[in-house]
A and B are shown apart, each in its own frame.
Chain A
Amino acid sequence: MYNMVDVYISERILTPDKSMDKVWERPDLLIDVPNHYCPGCSHSVVHRLLMEVVEELDIMERTIGIAPVGCSVLAYDYLNVDMQEAAHGRATACASGIKRVFPDKIVFTYQGDGDLAAIGTSETIHTVNRGENIVMVFINNGIYGMTGGQMAPTTLEGAKTSTCPEGRNLDLMGHPIKIADMIALLDGAYYVTRQAVHNSKTVRKTKKALLKAFQYQIDGKGGTSFVEIVSNCPSGWKMTPLEANDWLAKNMFEYYPLGNIKIPQKEE
C-alpha cells in the first residue's frame, strides 16, 4: 500500500517559470484530438513524426496520404493533410494512381504489416518494381493489431499470437518475411531503410529517414522510398508499453536489423 503522506507530498506539480521559452510542442498538423491508439503504441509516434516532417518541409498544401486497413485505418482523423482511404492492402495501388494523375503532389502511404506484407504483398512489390515516386511508410509490429492479435507474416519464430498460441512454428507457418530486404532488390527501389521509435534516439533517426524519403520525392528522384519502422503493439503482444519496447529491442532487431538497406548510389 502507498504511504498516503508520501503520495501527497510527491504530487507537488512543477510548472515552467514564465520567463522560459517553449522549445518543443505538438506539431500543428497533428489534429488536436485524443487518438484511439492503445497506450504506448508506436503508430501514434509515427503519426506525429510524419506531421513534423510535412511541417518542416512546408509541403502541407500538396501532401496526400493513403490510410490502410488496420489500427491506423483512422489516420485521416489525425493527420491534417489530404487523405485517401484504401481497401485492405491496396494503399500503394491508390498512391500510384494519385501520383500519376497529380505528379506535383507529395504522396505517401502508411501501412501495417498485415496490410503491406500479407494481403497487399502483390501491390507492394509491383509498386516498388514500377519505381513509383512515392514514400511508403511500413509499420512492422509483427502482428495484426486491429483484429485482435493474429499472426502476421512478420511474426517472429516462437512468438505467441491468437492464431499460433503455441508460438510461430516455422515448419507449419513459414518464415517471418523481411519485406524491406526483399524489395530493396528491385530496381525501382530508391531508398530503403529500417528504423524504430522505441526510444528518443531511434525517434530522432526515424525522423531523419522520413525527411530524406520525402525530400527525394520532392526532388523527383527516380524511385520509391520505403521506410520500415519496427514497432510495438503492447495490446496485441499482451505486454505493458515498457515491456513491449524492451521485448522489441531484445528480439526484433536481431531479425530485423536497423539501418539503411539501400541508399541512392551517389551517396554511397
Chain B
Amino acid sequence: MAKIRGSVTINKQYCKGCELCVYECPQDSLKMSTKLNTKGYHFAFLAEDTCTGCINCALVCPDACITVYRGTKKNQLSTVKKTTNSSSKMALKAL
C-alpha cells in the first residue's frame, strides 16, 4: 500500500498568527511566515512535506482557517522561485 501523505491549505487572511497549529503539529510541518497578511499578522504555512493529514492543527486553530487533505502523492511546491544556490541578492529582492 502506498504511504498516506497529508497536506493543508491555510487561509492566510483569516490567520491571526497565534502559532497554536505550529506547536500542535506532531510532524513539525508548519511554520510562521516572515511576511504579514493584510491585518498585520504573520501567517502559518505548510513548509515541510512531512504532513500526515492528522488534522490536529485544524482542531486547535481558533480561526478555522486550515483545510486538511490526504492522499498518496507528494505535496506540490507552489512558489519556489529560486533554490539554495541562488545569490543572496536575488533572495533579498524577492523579499
**Residues in chain B near residue A25, CB distance under 8 A:** 67-68
Query: Count of A residues near B, CB < 8 Å?
Result: 47
CA distance A4 to B80 in the complex (A): 16
Please encode chain A, from 17 to 54, with 1 for each CB lying within 8 Å of some chain B CB and 0 for all others: 10111111111001000110111111111001000000
CB of A29 to closest CB in B, whole Å: 11
Other-chain residue from A7, A17, A35, A45 in contact with B76 (beta carbon distance below 8 A)? A17
Number of A-B contacts defined by CB within 8 Å:
153
Distance in Å from the Cβ of B64 to the closest Cβ of chain A? 4
Q: Is the CB of A8 within 8 A of B73?
A: no
A21 pairs with B67, CB closer than 8 A: no
Residue total for B at the interface (Cβ-Cβ under 8 A): 62
Residue on A with the closest CB to B31?
Answer: A10
- Residues in B with CB closer than 8 Å to A26 are 64-65, 67
Complex Cα distance, B39 from A199, in Å, reads 25
Partner of B69, one of A22, A45, A197: A22
Candidates B14, B46, B83; contact of A15 at CB < 8 Å: B46
Q: How far is the CB of A196 from chain B (nearest CB, A)?
A: 11
State A45–B80 Cα separation when bound (angstroms): 33
Q: Mark B72-91, 1 if CB is under 8 A from A, else 0.
A: 11111111101110101001
Q: Verify A12–B62 contact, CB threshold 8 A.
A: no
Decide: A13 and B60 in contact? CB cutoff 8 A. Answer: no
For the complex, give the distance between the alpha carbons of A26 and B24 in Å.
18
Query: With a CB–CB cut-off of 8 A, which chain A residues contact B63?
Result: 34-35, 44
Closest B residue by C-beta to A38: B16
**Contact in complex: B88, A5 (CB < 8 Å):** yes
For residue B86, which residues in chain A have a CB less than 8 angstroms away from its CB? Answer: 5
Identify which of residues 4-37 in chain B touch chain A, using a CB-to-CB cut-off of 8 Å. 5-9, 13-14, 16-20, 23-24, 31, 33-35
Residues of A at the B interface (CB closer than 8 Å) are 2, 4-5, 7-17, 19-27, 30, 34-35, 37-45, 48, 197-200, 203-204, 234, 240-242, 245
6 nearest CB pairs, A to B: A20-B71, A16-B7, A40-B18, A39-B16, A44-B62, A20-B69
A sample of 7 more A-B contacts (CB under 8 A), given A4-B95, A24-B55, is A14-B49, A16-B7, A16-B76, A24-B68, A42-B62, A234-B18, A241-B62
